[in-house]
């Protein structure tokens, strides 16, 4: 799972703006369920924030 989280975080950093899980799924080629699970894990670790509903960005 850590590998998926890393891919998601890298894609978010490249986007350089808050993104939706579906956008991350398209960028990484991962399944949207996998992306959502990874985002949840990253949020719990404090690596991702949600600046607005359904959008996520890496923490600074």
In this structure, the dihedral spanned by the alpha carbons of residues 58, 1, 30 and 40, taken in order and rounded to 10 degrees, is -50
Considering only CA atoms, which of 3, 8, 7, 10 is closest in space to residue 21?
8
**Which pLDDT score, from 0 to 100, does residue 60 have?**
83
- Supply the range of the domain harboring residue 22: 2-58
Show the DSSP H helices in the chain as ranges. Answer: 2-15, 21-28, 32-44
Considering only CA atoms, which of 55, 45, 58 is closest in space to residue 14?
58
Total domains, the chain: 1
Mean pLDDT by 10 residues, the chain (60 residues): 90 97 97 96 97 94
The conformation of residue 19, written as its DSSP 8-state character, comes to B
pTM of the model: 0.90
Is the four-CA dihedral 26, 55, 14, 1 of positive or negative sign?
negative
CATH code of the domain containing 52: 1.10.10.10
């Amino acid at each position: 799972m850590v590998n998926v989280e890393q891919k998601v975080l890298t894609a978010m950093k490249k986007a350089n703006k808050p993104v939706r899980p579906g956008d991350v799924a398209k960028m990484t080629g991962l399944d949207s369920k996998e992306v959502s699970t990874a985002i949840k894990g990253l949020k719990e670790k404090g690596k991702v924030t949600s600046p607005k509903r359904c959008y996520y960005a890496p923490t600074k």
